[in-house]
């Protein structure tokens, strides 16, 4: 699968981390870890800016995490205008911080920093794929 099928708007068709989409298609949300210095990355990176190494390994984000913060987007940028309002958040999964959307099925009144979340792949319109946070 090409990277052009990721998310609502894709700005590139080529990336060194294109396996990310293959994993999403298989139901897995993956991050990378530099084998040289141990730094974790999400979104996945194939080159480590910390130690300038390129020896990375993939690992699945499968444990539950905690929502660190969130915001409600009322006026979406280009490509997301029709989606607004939607909620974006940052969640911590045992030291890996993930930025993403919260499920539209969550009411804003139920969203609280510190709440348990899991991150799951989701199918989007037009054969696209992404991921979102769901409450646990």
Of the candidates 2, 7, 3, 4, which has an alpha carbon nearest to the alpha carbon of residue 121?
7
- Domain-by-domain residue ranges, the chain? 3-135
pTM: 0.84
For 44, residues 6+ apart whose C-beta sits below 8 A from its C-beta are 17, 19, 20, 30, 31, 32, 56, 58
Reading the chain (136 residues) residue by residue, the pLDDT tens digits are 566 666 665 555 567 878 999 999 999 999 999 999 999 999 999 999 999 999 999 999 999 999 999 999 999 888 888 889 999 999 999 989 999 999 999 999 999 999 999 999 999 888 889 999 999 9
């Amino acid at each position: 699968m090409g990277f052009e099928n990721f998310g609502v708007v894709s700005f590139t068709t080529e990336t060194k981390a294109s396996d990310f989409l293959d994993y999403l298609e298989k139901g897995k949300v993956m991050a990378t870890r530099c084998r040289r210095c141990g730094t974790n990355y999400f979104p996945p990176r194939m080159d480590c800016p910390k130690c300038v190494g390129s020896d990375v390994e993939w690992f699945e984000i499968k444990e539950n995490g905690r929502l660190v913060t969130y915001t409600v987007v009322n006026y979406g940028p280009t490509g997301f205008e029709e989606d607004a309002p939607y909620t974006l958040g940052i969640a911590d999964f045992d030291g890996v911080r993930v930025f993403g959307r919260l499920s539209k099925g969550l009411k804003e009144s139920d969203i609280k920093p510190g709440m348990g979340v899991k991150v799951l792949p989701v199918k989007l319109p037009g054969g696209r794929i992404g991921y979102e946070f769901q409450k646990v």
